[in-house]
Amino acid sequence: MGAEQSKYEGSPEILEARDLASVAKYMNSAECKNVFTMLGAGISTSAGIPDFRSPETGLYANLARLNLPYPEAVFEINYFRENPRAFYTLAHELLPGRFRPTPTHSFVRLLNDHKLLHTCFTQNIDTLERRAGVPGNKIVEAHGSFVGQHCIECDTECDGEKMRQALNTGEIARCPECDGLVKPDIVFFGESLPQLFHRSVPNLRNADLLFVIGTSLTVQPFASLASLVPAHCPRVLINLDAVGDFGSKPDDVICLGRCDDIVRDLCKALGWADELEAAWKETERSLVDFTEAPPEKSPGPTAEEEKKQLEQDVEEITDKMREVLGKAPSQTSSEETKGIEQSPVVTGAEIPVIEDGPQTVEDTAIQNEGDNIKETKEKL
């Protein structure tokens, strides 16, 4: 598997052959110390998360229900400012904890366990690498993720638990400092990539082996990373389709098929088969139950208690009207209350508008209090 896909006519220079057995042998040698990965949405499809661009089944193909002007709008910062609910609807379905990491994610963890992993570059926002046990300091989420959340206006960092609750309920989160919109630290079109990504790119010069798994290599600048490793560095593509310039270098290995299947074959060649299955089994505990039972409701007030409360509200509003009109508040007699009840403010009759002069603040206050009394009396 691999050699038949190569376009390179000469012999490999580092590997014995362009196949998984040779990759495994090289990984077990002293020459292979710094392994890098480039991960795309294809490694998460077996977890139930659709990729972005597959016809009919991809994420963009299934966004028609959100009534977007075009699918990519859900990840555009200007569209988010106008209609944040579209993204919140999508993010609710992608919340970390809804999906279990795949064997491919667990393979990346094993790379770290065997002290081979230098950096895991990922395009994915689903945080499944972390949930599989890959240390956060080894992960570069090129397009951001759900790990953090900030205000899009003042960049204030917001509470993660409140963000999770907002995404779970569909409530739009607001910044406690400026009331701006808050979103997870997912890079939208129109936003810059994380500084960590830019700082980490030069490390590719130290790569001894590069795995490119489950990506179409069409989104820049991420796609360009595959060309930044040293000329002598073997590159292994694990994907459904051949992509990029793979097959043009002497130590390119191309393995086409399902990521999980190929990773299992590689782990078998490495002697890691049992470790892979054990690591993947651990991810069963990473799932989160989002179906929380609603809190028990306390017994509500009786009809008589509601009527009494509304009567008290009427008296309070009447006293406030007297204050606005310049009268001292006092206990309202039944005759006075009756008179108020028959006033046009309370009965809902039309009040003539005086057009000869501007409405004053006092006029506005009287009208607002009148509206409140009308609403309360209607409830009675």
Catalytic residue among 105, 118, 143, 232: 143
How far is the CA of 272 from the CAs of 3, 109, 277, 309, in angstroms? 23, 12, 9, 71
Amino acid at 302: T
Classify residue 125 by its DSSP letter. Answer: S
Write down the residue that tokens 């290599």 correspond to. Answer: 217
Q: How far apart are CA 256 and CA 241, in angstroms?
A: 6
Question: 70: which 2 tokens?
Answer: 């075009």
Question: 54: which 2 tokens?
Answer: 């597959």
Q: Is 237 left (phi over 0), alpha (psi -120 to 50) or beta?
A: beta
Amino acid at 210: L
Instruction: Examine residue 202 and say whether the peptide bond preceding it is cis (omega within 30 degrees of 0).
Output: no
How far is residue 312 CA from its own chain's centroid? Answer: 48
Long-range contacts of 156-164 (CB under 8 A, 24+ apart): 158/182, 164/95
| Binding-site residues for NAD(+) | 41-45, 51-53, 123-126, 215-216, 239-241, 259
Q: How far apart are CA 360 and CA 363, in angstroms?
A: 5
- CA Rg, the chain, in Å? 32
- Reduced to 3 states (helix: H, G, I; strand: E, B; else coil), residue 340 is helix
Q: How far apart are CA 140 and CA 327, in angstroms?
A: 69
105 catalytic per annotation: no
Classify residue 148 by its DSSP letter. Answer: E
| Binding-site residues | 41-45, 51-53, 123-126, 151, 154, 175, 178, 215-216, 239-241, 259
Residues annotated as part of the active site: 143
